[in-house]
Amino acid sequence: MFSLTSSHQYYLYSESTDMRKSFDGLCGLISTGMQQDPSNGSVYVFINKRRDRIKLLHWEAGGFVLYYKRLEKGTLERSPTQSGSSVSWPELVMLIEGIPLSERKKRRRFLLNKSA
pTM tops 0.95: no
At 91 the pLDDT is: 86
Nearest of 81, 24, 70 to residue 48 by alpha carbon: 70
At 23 the pLDDT is: 95
Q: Could you tell me the mean pLDDT of each successive run of 10 residues in the chain, 116 residues long? A: 84 92 95 92 93 93 92 81 76 83 68 62
- From CA 28, how far away is CA 31, in angstroms rounded? 5
At 82 the pLDDT is: 58
Domain boundaries, the chain: 10-101
At 3 the pLDDT is: 80
At 80 the pLDDT is: 60
Q: What is the 3-state secondary structure (H, E, C) of the chain?
A: CCCCCCCCCEEECCCCCCCCCCHHHHHHHHHHHCCCCCCCCCEEEEECCCCCEEEEEEEECCEEEEEEEECCCCCCCCCCCCCCEEECHHHHHHHHHCCCHHHCCCCCCCCCCCCC
Q: Specify the amino acid at residue 63.
A: G
At 17 the pLDDT is: 93
